Structure 1
Amino acid sequence: MTNRRTILAGLLAAPLLALGAAPAAAEASLGEISQYFNSFRTAQGGFTQINDDQSISTGTVYIQRPGRVRFEYAPPERQLVVAGGGQVVILDARGNARGETYPLQETPLSIILQDTVDLSRAGMVTNHVSDGTLTTVTAQDPRHPEYGNIQLVFSENPVALRQWVVTNGNGERTTVILNDFATGMAHPTSRFSIDRARAEFAG
């Protein structure tokens, strides 16, 4: 079973998909990708998470921009991760009842949870490649590159998020591969309440 810091690393990175030799220009532009994110406020889907130690977890992810995400892990994992109110809490059966809390802005995942996603900001994108089918964008907070980066992998026609790879400030990498990822549904605000998540996990 993965430790809590590895979980956080993964939510915010496993090996990148092999893209082969990349052409000079990527198929999906940064403007198109930013527009894709800004076209929806909510999303959800199944995920497979490959952790830095190569262990694998599965579950369901719920997103509500700005700043909210919830990872519900399927058994036998006993874990829950919720971001809301500018914080991320990691609840784990082996931890204390209140879990471990981190500022969301210190995680690479915050880049795609912003109110308005703009990957064209100076210094944000450090790599942008395509193999003609998939486009991969590597992004970081240009003010705090020490927080790590996120590699976002998209199908190109139409543009749609397929996976992300987070590398945290310690170099730990976690891959989250999405399936049945859909957008535009309603989420109750309580789903992203850290206090409620703690109560749920304790119960």
Structure 2
Amino acid sequence: MTHLTYFTRKPLHAAIAGVLAVALPATALLAPAMPAVAADDSTQLDQVVAALRGISTLKADFTQTDRSGRTLRGELTLKNPGKIRFEYAKGTNMLVVSDGSSLTFVDYEVNQVQRYPIKNSPLGALLDPSRDVKKYGKLIPTGNPNVFSVEVKDPKKPEYGIFTAIMIKNAAAPGGLELANWVQIDAQNQRTVVRLTNQKYGVAVPDSAFKFRDPRRSSRRPG
């Protein structure tokens, strides 16, 4: 059982799996260790890591699709280190937000809130500056010299899941690589793809963007 099962409403369960969960078969968790990366791969991996860590702020539209094909849309706001907000489109009464240390999942329909440490989730590869992407990452061949794919997983801590970022060459993006999408798979093999469009880097983002209204407080009746 994981923290996901504490939520009783299935839509929120699926959404959380989407945020926490890279389109890879479950057997990838059992794959043998890869050989040491070649010099060219090491250089490219350095480039990808520099591009990811070079994102100071980012705003983008996102489309989140889980393994069953369920799709949710909204706006993503990111501010490093560690802050992110998934603002879902109207009609989806929930929110996923990180204050830099914990991911918080808020369901406004049933007034539920759950927190989960960033470092223990696949998103830690993107948000946790202490996560050594170079140490635990490897390049996945794409067949396209303009597209880079890097998979990050810690074989000693499978509960952290797998995070795979897809980067596309773009001179206007930090490090010359644009974060186009990522795929995640959690310890329960729940898999989701998050695709980004209309990326805007270096925009002003106040810390207040990562605060939220706690529905548990507003739902309490006076004593």
Quote the Cα distance in structure 1 between the aligned partners of 2:63 and 2:187. 22
The one-letter code matched in structure 2 to 1:66 is P
The one-letter code matched in structure 2 to 1:115 is P
Corresponding residue for residue 29 of structure 1: 44
Cα deviation 1:68-114 (Å, max 9, x = unaligned): 100000022111111114111111234334x1221111111111113
Quote the Cα distance in structure 2 between the aligned partners of 1:48 and 1:14. 14
Matches within 5 A, 1:84-163: 84-97=99-112, 99-115=113-129, 118-121=132-135, 124-132=136-144, 133-141=146-154, 143-157=156-170, 158-163=176-181
- Whether 1:178 aligns to 2:187 is no
Cα deviation 1:102-153 (Å, max 9, x = unaligned): 11111111111133775222xx124522221322111124552222101111
- Whether 1:65 aligns to 2:75 is no
Task: Give the number of the structure with larger relative contact order, counting CA–CA contacts within 8 Å between residues 6 or more apart.
Answer: 1
Give secondary structure in 1 for the equivalent of 2:140: strand
TM-score, normalised via structure 1 length? 0.81
- Whether 1:12 aligns to 2:20 is yes
The one-letter code matched in structure 1 to 2:201 is T
Quote the Cα distance in structure 2 between the aligned partners of 1:88 and 1:107. 9
How many aligned residue pairs are there? 191
Corresponding residue for residue 20 of structure 1: none
- Show structure 2 runs of 5+ residues with no match: 1-8, 25-37, 171-175
TM-score, normalised via structure 2 length? 0.74
Instruction: Verify the 8 A CA contact 1:28 1:156 in the aligned structure 2.
Output: no
Deviates more, 1:136-145 or 1:36-45: 136-145
Residues 163 and 85 of structure 1: CA distance in aligned 2, closer, same or farther (over 3 Å): closer
Corresponding residue for residue 47 of structure 1: 62
Higher helix share: 2
Instruction: Verify the 8 A CA contact 1:26 1:135 in the aligned structure 2.
Output: no
Cα deviation 1:145-202 (Å, max 9, x = unaligned): 2221011111135421100011011000011000011111111111112xx3426x95
Q: Alpha carbon RMSD of aligned pairs, Å? A: 2.8
Quote the Cα distance in structure 2 between the aligned partners of 1:63 and 1:187. 8
- Whether 1:81 aligns to 2:89 is no
The one-letter code matched in structure 2 to 1:96 is N
